[in-house]
Every structure is written in structure tokens, then in C-alpha cells.
């Protein structure tokens, strides 16, 4: 806001019309001194404003760079989200196929077992299952228990004997063409079901990888966004301070101009005062010269110029 005089900075107001002629030059010197000091202060304020503006630009640039990174991370995260959703769709389709293949494999296994029961002696199938269960138990004991060499040899011998019995019974089943065909059909169905389950697992893992990458990118974007918010706060703080300093600088410049106006006014007044004092003295001198001229006395060039200046020639 423009001030009519600099008292806001110096507490000093000058009214040139009220000054005595003898004090005007001293007052001008005081105003010049105050103007110079205020000018130095204004220069410092301008330099501070410029530094704050530079700081503001740096904060704005840093903020914009961070926001650019945020957009980049979000764009990448959304890309992984789309891939994850695509993978999840494939997972659902693969699960549906797997369930159908599992159902078909189970149906074939039930059909094979039913056929085996009709073709074998009562209890053969149950005996085969018990033999396999005993083998699995012995394998577990061998892996988990501390056995003496003798006990371990007995266990291995028993497992060998059981394996022979299992192979013999399975060979009996395989010798039946109908059972063998049912078994091979069941085996093929189970292999397809297992392959489908493996595909489901791979697709689910791929979807999870996309999901994990997406989450990580969003987290990184959030962290950078917080940093960008901090840069924005610094930008606002620096800009407000720069604006405040700029307004103070403008007020000082306006006050300096007020000083200049008052100095010019005082100088004009001094010139006017000097002119009023000189005119009567010059006119009296010219009248004396003109009196000499009327008497016919010889006048010098300077006399003639003085008459001309006074308007008497």
C-alpha cells in the first residue's frame, strides 16, 4: 500500500511550507540521509525477496517432480492391477476345468473299483489297500525313528515283502483287460486333473505376484505423495514469506519516492525564495543605472545588460 510519506519506516514527516529558510538545506540533508538508509534497507529487502522467490521455485520444482513420480508409480500399479485381474479370470476358468477333470477322474476311479470288485475275490481290494497302508507306515517309521541296524534290516525286509505282494495283486488286476482299461482311463483322467491343478496354482501365483507388485507400487506412491505434500507446504511457506517481504519492499520504495518528492519540493522552495530576494536588489541597481542614462552618462556593456534584464530598455 502506497504511503504519502515515510513515517511508517522512520516516523518523520516533512511539511516544506512550514520550514524557515535557514533550516531548509539542513532538512534536505537529513532527508537525503534517511532516503539513503531506507534505500539500503529496501535493497536488502529486495535481495531477500529474490532469494525467497528462488527458494519458492525450487520447492515448486521439487513438488512437481515428486508428483510426476507419483503419477508414474500409480500408472504402473494400475497396469499390474489390470494384469492381476486378467490372471484371476484365468484362474477361475482353470479352476472350473480342474473341478470338471477331478469329477471325471473320481467317476472313473469309482467305475474301476466297482469293476475290480466284480472281477476279484472278496476282500482282495481291501487287502491291497491294507498292504499299501502298512508300506506307508513302515516308510514313515524308517524316516522318523532311530532304529538299530537289526531293526532297520527287519523293517526293510518287511517293506520288500509287502511291495512284492502289492505288485502280485496289481498284476492280477492288470491281467484282466477290462480292469486294466478302466485303470488306464482313470490314470489318464487323474493326470489331466493334476495338470489342470498345476495350471491353477501357476496362474494363482502369477496373479499374486501382480497383486504384490501393485500393492508395493501404491505404497511407494503414497510415500512419495507425502514427500510431495511436504514440498508443497514448504512452497506455500516460502511464497507467503516472499510475498510479505515484497510488500514491505514496495512500501519502502513508495516511501523513498515520498522522500524524493519532499526533497524536490524543498529545493524548489529554496530556489523560489532566492529569486524573490534577488529581484528587488537587481531592480534598484537598474533604476540607478537608468538615472545615469537619462543624465547622459556613459554606460558600460554590463550596465546595458542590467537595464535590459530589468526591462528598462
pLDDT at 201 over 50: yes
Question: Would 175 be classed as within a structural domain?
Answer: no
pLDDT above 70 coverage of the chain, percent: 75
b vs e for 10-49, b when ≥16 Cβ sit within 10 Å of the residue's Cβ?
eeeebebeebeeeebeebbeebeebbeebeebbeebbebb
Residue 19 falls inside a structural domain = yes
Whether residue 86 lies inside any domain: the answer is: no
Model pLDDT for residues 218-235, shown as the tens digit of each residue = 999 999 999 999 999 999
Residue 255 lies in a domain: yes
205, part of any domain: no
Q: Which of 10-24, 119-133, 179-193, 261-275 is predicted least confidently?
A: 10-24
What domain range includes position 254? 11-46+244-310
Residue 5 near residue 254 (C-beta atoms within 8 A):
no
pLDDT in tens, 57-101: 999 999 999 999 999 999 999 999 999 999 999 999 999 998 998
What's the total number of domains in the chain? 1
Give yes or no for residue 8 having a pLDDT over 60. Answer: no
pLDDT bracket for residue 41 (50, 70, 90): very high
Q: Are 49 and 239 in contact (CB under 8 A)?
A: no
CA distance 190 to 183: 10
Alpha helices in 120-176 (DSSP H): 124-144, 149-174
Instruction: Indicate whether 154 belongs to any domain.
Output: no
Amino acid at each position: 500500500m502506497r504511503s504519502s510519506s515515510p513515517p511508517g519506516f522512520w516516523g518523520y514527516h516533512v511539511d516544506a511550507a512550514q520550514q524557515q529558510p535557514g533550516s531548509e538545506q539542513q532538512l534536505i540533508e537529513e532527508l537525503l540521509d534517511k532516503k539513503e538508509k531506507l534505500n539500503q534497507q529496501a535493497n536488502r529487502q529486495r535481495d531477500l525477496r529474490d532469494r525467497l522467490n528462488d527458494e519458492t521455485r525450487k520447492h515448486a520444482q521439487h513438488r512437481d517432480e515428486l508428483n510426476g513420480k507419483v503419477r508414474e508409480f500409480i500408472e504402473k500399479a494400475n497396469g499390474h492391477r489390470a494384469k492381476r485381474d486378467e490372471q484371476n479370470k484365468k484362474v477361475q476358468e482353470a479352476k472350473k476345468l480342474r473341478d470338471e477333470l477331478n469329477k471325471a477322474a473320481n467317476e472313473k476311479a469309482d467305475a474301476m473299483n466297482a469293476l475290480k470288485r466284480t472281477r476279484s475275490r472278496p476282500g482282495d481290494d481291501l487287502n491291497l489297500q491294507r498292504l499299501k497302508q502298512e508300506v506307508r507306515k513302515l516308510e514313515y517309521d524308517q524316516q522318523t525313528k532311530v532304529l538299530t541296524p537289526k531293526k532297520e534290516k527287519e523293517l526293510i525286509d518287511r517293506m520288500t515283502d509287502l511291495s512284492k505282494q502289492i505288485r502280485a495283486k496289481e498284476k492280477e488286476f492288470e491281467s484282466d483287460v477290462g480292469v486294466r482299461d478302466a485303470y488306464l482311463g482313470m490314470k489318464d483322467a487323474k493326470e489331466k486333473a493334476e495338470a489342470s491343478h498345476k495350471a491353477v496354482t501357476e496362474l494363482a501365483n502369477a496373479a499374486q505376484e501382480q497383486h504384490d507388485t501393485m500393492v508395493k507400487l501404491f505404497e511407494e506412491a503414497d510415500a512419495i505423495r507425502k514427500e510431495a505434500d511436504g514440498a508443497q507446504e514448504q512452497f506455500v511457506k516460502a511464497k507467503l514469506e516472499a510475498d510479505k517481504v515484497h510488500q514491505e519492499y514496495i512500501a519502502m520504495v513508495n516511501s523513498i519516492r515520498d522522500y524524493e518528492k519532499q526533497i524536490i519540493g524543498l529545493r524548489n522552495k529554496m530556489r523560489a525564495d532566492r529569486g524573490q530576494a534577488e529581484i528587488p536588489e537587481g531592480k534598484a541597481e537598474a533604476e540607478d543605472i537608468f538615472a545615469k542614462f537619462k543624465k547622459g552618462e556613459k554606460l558600460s556593456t554590463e550596465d546595458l545588460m542590467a537595464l535590459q534584464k530589468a526591462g528598462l530598455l
